[in-house]
Amino acid sequence: MNISKILSSLSYDDESFNIGVLFRVLFMTIRGGWLSILSLNRIAFPVFVSKNVKVVGPYKNINTGKYVKIESDVIIQTEAIKGIKIGRSCTIGSGTSIRPSSYYGGDRGEGLVLGDRSAIGINSYIGCSGYIEIGDDVIIGPHFTIISENHNFSDRKRKIKEQGVRRANIKIDNDVWIGCNVTVLAGVNIGGGSVIAAGSVVTKSFPPNSLIGGVPAKLIKTI
C-alpha cells in the first residue's frame, strides 16, 4: 500500500483526508509501541492503543497479533492459566474489561482467545474464569456480557457467596454477529454463521446458522 492510499484511508467517507484522524492514529501508534516494548513484543507492533488502557498482571500471559486496536479505558487482566490471546486486526471497544481472575488472589481463571478480525463493542465485560474461545470475524455489539462461571446456591444452610462457583467453558465459532446488550452464560457453544438478537440472554447452546433471540434465548429460525 502506498503512502497516498494510506493517507486517503485516514478520513471519513465524505472527506479526502482528515488531519485529526491522522494525529489520533499517530498517538495511538506511539502508545502501542510503548506497550509492545513493555511486553517484550508479546503485544505485536503495530498495535493502536488509546488513552487510559491498563494491562493488569504479567505481560508474559498476553499475546496479540498485529494491527490490534485497543480503545480508551480498556482494562485487560492477564492473570490466567491459558493467558489472553488476541488475534490479528481485532478491535477492543472503549470501556471494556477482560477479567479472568480476581485482582486480589484466589483461584486463577482460564483465560481468553479472540480470533482474527473480531471486534468487541464498547463497555463490554469478558469474565473468562472458565476458558472462552471467540472465533474469527465475530462482530459483537456494545454492552456485551459473557461469563463462564456460575455461583453455587443449592445449600440453603450456607450463604451463596460461601458455596463457591462452577466454571464451564464457552465457545463462539467464526462469523457470528452478536447484537447490543447480549449476555452469554457459562457452558454455551454458538455455531458459526449465527446471529444473536439485541438484548438476548443465552443460556444454552445453538447449532451453526441459527438466528437466536429472547430471554432466555430461543431458536427463531435457521438462516
Tell me the CA distances in angstroms from 72 to 24, 44, 188, one per residue in order: 12, 19, 29
Active-site choice (151, 161, 166, 218): 151
Q: Return the C-alpha cell found at 51.
A: 488513552
Give Cβ neighbours of residue 47 (< 8 Å, ≥ 6 apart).
32, 33, 35, 36, 64, 66, 67, 68, 69, 70
**Smallest Cα–Cα separation from 204: which of 154, 156, 168?**
168
Q: Fill in the amino acid letter for 18.
A: N
Of all helices (H) and strands (E), which one includes residue 15?
none
Nearest Cα residue to 86 out of 52, 123, 128: 128
User: 151 catalytic, yes or no?
Assistant: yes
Block residue for cell numbers 502501542: 32
Rounded to whole angstroms, how far apart are CA atoms 180 and 213? 12
Distance CA 109, CA 103 (A): 11
| Cα distance between residue 18 and residue 10, in whole Å | 6
Question: Which residues are designated catalytic?
Answer: 151
